[in-house]
């Protein structure tokens, strides 16, 4: 089944690629090199107030954006896993059908389902 084309799916695919790339060994190596360069700049140029403000601003913005990228990707993957599990419950004889979409139930009802044999 081919995914539906459209801006929402294009954004989702781009988000997934960004998260995949930023989680790679190359991105980690690049981040380490940039951090060392930043540190060297501070050591040789002095840790000025402007330098520290810039450091905080850049890291805050990067962290803020990455949280949304990671949350989007994690949510999409979780949804896919839950759909697959629901399909397995439907296909398995003797499985309790009330467990399908149990993640949408209130916590109290989930606990009751968990306590049942």
pLDDT per position as a tens digit, 16-72: 899 889 889 999 999 999 999 988 988 888 888 988 898 899 999 999 999 998 998
Q: What is the predicted pLDDT for the residue at 3?
A: 54
Q: What is the predicted pLDDT for the residue at 57?
A: 94
Measured in degrees and rounded to the nearest 5, phi and psi for residue 95 equal -75, 150
pLDDT per position as a tens digit, 88-112: 999 999 888 888 888 888 999 889 8
Neighbours of 55 (CB within 10 A): 15
Q: What is the predicted pLDDT for the residue at 4?
A: 59
Q: Roughly what angle, to the nearest 10 degrees, separates helices 7-22 and 25-45?
A: 70
Q: What is the predicted pLDDT for the residue at 1?
A: 46
The string of DSSP codes covering the chain is: -PPPPSHHHHHHHHHHHHHHHHTSHHHHHHHHHHHHHHHHHHHHH---HHHHHHHHHHHHHHHHHHHHHHHHHHHHHHHHHHHHHHHHHHHSTT--GGGTTGGGS-HHHHHHHHH--
pLDDT per position as a tens digit, 2-13: 455 788 888 888
Rg (CA), the chain: 23
pLDDT per position as a tens digit, 70-79: 998 899 899 9
Q: What is the predicted pLDDT for the residue at 13?
A: 87
pLDDT band of 113, cuts 50, 70, 90: confident
User: Where in the chain are the domains?
Assistant: 7-115
């Amino acid at each position: 089944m081919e995914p539906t084309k459209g801006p929402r799916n294009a954004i989702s695919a781009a988000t997934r690629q960004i998260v995949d790339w930023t989680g790679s060994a190359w991105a980690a190596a690049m981040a380490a090199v940039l951090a060392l360069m930043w540190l060297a700049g501070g050591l040789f140029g002095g840790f000025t107030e402007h330098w520290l403000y810039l450091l905080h601003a850049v890291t805050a913005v990067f962290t803020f954006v990455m949280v949304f990228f990671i949350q989007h990707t994690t949510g999409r993957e979780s949804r896919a896993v839950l759909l697959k599990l629901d399909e397995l419950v439907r296909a398995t004889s003797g499985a309790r059908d009330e467990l399908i979409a149990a993640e949408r139930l209130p916590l109290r009802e989930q606990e009751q389902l968990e306590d049942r044999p």
